[in-house]
């Protein structure tokens, strides 16, 4: 007489084999064992997704410009979602090509050490990011520190919004911290990329590497237009850059010169950069080592922004002209290069 246990023992191996041979059946059984969310959870998730998509819709429809204003209803509907969109960097301009795109903003910082040395920081730089998406995201961060509006009394100045001030102070603290850590990396590299002793020029963070000020500049980088491309312009042409001084900050982010925001003339700013920051360092290089490769390495070491770096590399005579006595000559020459480049 066959018992129930014997029957189970006899049928179990065949069922296991059948399940193993039928992966579809096994997947169906696994899926059926997963507990589905209840209707309340589904409704909440659906509502969150719908609100997210609606917030994006209000961001698209409420994005206007001085020439093309947004509908009043769209602007009002967007107001409750604005903090959410700004935190996630989803409130970007959606009318880039209607009819022409607006400028992107980058940030230039001039870091001054207690021994008089100067280094520039450009943020963001495309070569510092592996993917275009990461670079674009960092452009959004730089734009957060670029929000200004015209000064009500002085048209040559601008006013900084409170959120922009907080962002700039955070930038200053971060850059001062990184610059202090990297103060011992001021070795000069030769044309082959090797390091050499600079006779006491190498500074450490414990000896002359303390950051005393960080000057912030908002730089509008205009898009190059088709007619400018036909005229031979490059995307780093200085005529496409419009700098604005936003003030100086201490290493802890405290403002040094509040309410000092002003627009800058690009030739004058570049002239000061060459005279005071680039030329004194390059003059220390022995004449026998003044090669194009060495010039590029020195400009990279100083962190010179890309458009100025390219200008100096293409016109090295600007360095030999740069001095306090002939700054006017340099300014005139720079304006000529600026017009002919």
pLDDT at 98: 55
The predicted model gives 67-91 an average pLDDT of 83
Query: Given a cut of 70, is residue 131 above it in pLDDT?
Result: yes
Higher pLDDT, 55 or 330: 55
The predicted model gives 214-240 an average pLDDT of 88
Each residue's pLDDT tens digit, 36-50: 888 899 999 999 999
Name every residue whose Cβ is closer than 8 Å to that of residue 291 and which is 6 or more positions away in sequence: 191
User: Mean pLDDT for the chain?
Assistant: 75
Contact 285, 294 (CB under 8 A): yes
Q: Rounded to the nearest 5°, which phi and psi values hold at 105?
A: -115, 135
Query: Given a cut of 70, is residue 292 above it in pLDDT?
Result: yes
Report the share of the chain in percent with pLDDT over 90: 17
pLDDT at 36: 82
Tokens of 237: 């042409």
pLDDT at 150: 62
The predicted model gives 240-263 an average pLDDT of 86
Query: Given a cut of 60, is residue 84 above it in pLDDT?
Result: yes
pLDDT at 303: 92
Query: Given a cut of 90, is residue 336 above it in pLDDT?
Result: no
pLDDT at 126: 84
The predicted model gives 179-193 an average pLDDT of 49
pLDDT range class, residue 75, cuts 50, 70, 90: confident
Residues 16 and 56: their CA atoms lie apart, in Å, by 51
Is the entire prediction scored with pTM above 0.85? no
Each residue's pLDDT tens digit, 5-44: 454 444 455 555 554 555 555 555 565 566 788 889 999 9
Q: How far is CA 278 from CA 112, 118, 256, 282, 317, in A?
A: 13, 9, 24, 6, 13
Contact 219, 228 (CB under 8 A): no
pLDDT at 194: 40
Query: Given a cut of 60, is residue 183 above it in pLDDT?
Result: no
Query: Given a cut of 60, is residue 197 above it in pLDDT?
Result: no
Report the share of the chain in percent with pLDDT over 70: 66
């Amino acid at each position: 007489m066959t018992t129930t246990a014997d029957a189970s023992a006899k049928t179990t191996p065949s069922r296991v084999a059948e399940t193993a041979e039928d992966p579809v059946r096994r997947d169906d059984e696994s899926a059926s064992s997963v507990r589905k969310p209840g209707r309340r959870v589904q409704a909440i998730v659906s509502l969150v997704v719908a609100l997210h998509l609606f917030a994006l819709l209000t961001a698209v429809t409420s994005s206007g410009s001085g020439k093309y204003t947004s509908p009043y209803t769209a602007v009002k509907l967007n107001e409750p979602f604005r903090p959410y969109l700004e935190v996630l960097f989803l409130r970007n301009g959606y009318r880039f090509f209607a009819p022409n795109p607006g400028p992107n903003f980058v940030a230039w910082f001039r870091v001054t050490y207690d021994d008089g040395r100067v280094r520039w920081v450009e943020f963001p730089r495309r070569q510092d990011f592996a993917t275009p998406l990461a670079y674009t995201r960092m452009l959004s961060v730089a734009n957060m520190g670029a929000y200004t509006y015209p000064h009500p009394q002085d048209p040559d100045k601008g006013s900084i919004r409170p959120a922009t001030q907080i962002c700039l102070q955070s930038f200053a603290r971060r850059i001062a911290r990184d610059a202090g850590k990297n103060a011992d990396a001021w070795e000069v590299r030769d044309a082959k990329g090797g390091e050499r002793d600079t006779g006491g020029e190498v500074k450490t963070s414990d000896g002359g590497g303390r950051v005393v000020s960080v000057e912030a500049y908002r730089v509008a980088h205009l898009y190059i237009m088709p007619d400018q491309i036909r005229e031979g312009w490059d995307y780093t042409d200085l005529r496409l850059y419009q700098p604005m001084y936003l003030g100086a900050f201490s290493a802890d982010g405290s403002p040094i010169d509040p309410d000092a925001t002003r627009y800058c003339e690009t030739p004058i700013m570049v002239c000061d950069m060459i005279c005071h920051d680039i030329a004194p360092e390059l003059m220390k290089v022995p004449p026998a080592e003044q090669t194009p490769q060495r010039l590029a390495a020195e400009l990279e070491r100083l962190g010179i922004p890309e458009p100025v770096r390219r200008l100096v590399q293409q016109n090295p005579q600007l360095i030999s002209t740069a001095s306090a006595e002939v700054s006017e000559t340099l300014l005139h020459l720079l304006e000529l290069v600026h017009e002919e480049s």
